[in-house]
Structures are given as C-alpha cells and as structure tokens.
Amino acid sequence: MELDEGKQKFIQSWGTLGSNWGINRTMAQIHALLLICPEALSAMEIKEQLNISMGNTNMNIRSLIDWGLVYKKLKPGERKEFFVAEKDMWEVVKKIVIQRKKRELEPVIKMLDEISAVQGHCEESDEFCKVVKDIKLFSNKADSILDKLIKADSNWFMKSFINLIK
C-alpha cells in the first residue's frame, strides 16, 4: 500500500470514529492528520491538506486545543502558529474521558440527586425510586473509577489492567 492511500484511509476512519465519540468529523480528521505528521503544521497547511475552509479549520483547531488533544507550537522566526497532536494514546484517551465525564456523567449525577427527592407512596413511585437509586449507585461508582484512572499515571494503569485481564 502507498503511504498516501494509507494516510487517506486513516484520516477518513479516524473522522468516522470521532463522530461517534462526540468529536466532530473535521476535528477528528485534523487530529488524525497531526498524529501521523512528524512535523508541526500551520493552520494553512491543515486547511489545504484536508480541503476545508479557513473558518472550519480554525474552529476545530481551537476545540482540539480546548480538549487538550493538540498543542500550539511557535517556531522561532515564524509569525504563524504551528500545531502538534498529543501522540501518547493513553493521554488521548484520558483527555477524552475528562471531557466526556464533565459533559455527560456529571450532569447525570446532578439530575439523579435532584430527582431522588421524589416521595414514594405507590407502586409507580417505588419503582421510580428504586431505578433512580440503582443508577445513582452505578454512576457514582463509574465517576470514582474514572477519577482514579485519570489521576493514575500511564504505567500504573497499564500494569494493573494488564495484570487484571491476563
């Protein structure tokens, strides 16, 4: 297989994967491009390689920086900004977990706390409270596991998990 064909396949698939993970297609494609690039790229180079508009390029580079998946890199003597991707896969997963936990798990836990104030006087409210209690327990457990994963360093996690699954 030719390098260019491989690059295209990789960028397209990473885009599809991303859009299933709350990362929009272009955002994931930019990340893919930077991942496989040995050099930092400028916004213009990214725009041209992916054939997308300036606005789209800029917006999605900013989102990637917000998520912590891409870093700005200034080259001495150059005025424009260059960008590099976070290449450690465990770091990438961690950054995504941090964002999604904040955006999804935390609001759910808040909602569950609110609705567990429902008073139970009938079969329907008993069932409701039971389900809410179950989900709360599960979510809190997930929250604490994710916190620990995020804080644990790459090696600790890998070693323990590998031991666990062997």
Partner DNA sequence: TTTTACTTTCAAAAGTTTCTGAAAGTTACA
Partner DNA sequence: TGTAACTTTCAGAAACTTTTGAAAGTAAAA
Tell me which residues touch DNA (CB under 7 A).
19, 24-27, 42-44, 51-56, 58-62, 78-81
CB of 63 to DNA, least distance (A): 10
CB of 164 to its own copies, least distance (A): 6
CB of 17 to its own copies, least distance (A): 6
- What's the rounded Cα separation, in Å, for the pair 84 and 63? 14
Alpha-carbon radius of gyration of the chain: 21
The answer to whether residue 127 forms part of the interface with its own copies (CB under 8 A) is yes
- What's the rounded Cα separation, in Å, for the pair 140 and 109? 7
Among 52, 98, 101, 128, binds its own copies (CB under 8 A): 128
Among 66, 102, 145, 154, binds its own copies (CB under 8 A): 145
Note whether 109 and 136 are within 8 A (CB). yes
- What's the rounded Cα separation, in Å, for the pair 84 and 42? 9
CB of 53 to its own copies, least distance (A): 26
How far separated are the first and last CA of the chain, in Å rounded? 34
Contact pattern for its own copies over residues 20 through 59, marking x by CB under 8 A: x-x------------xxxx---------------------
Binding site for its own copies (CB under 8 A): 1-3, 6-7, 9-10, 13, 17, 20, 22, 35-38, 87, 89-90, 93, 100, 103-104, 107-108, 111, 114-115, 117-119, 123-128, 131-132, 134-135, 138, 141, 144-145, 148, 158, 160-162, 164-165
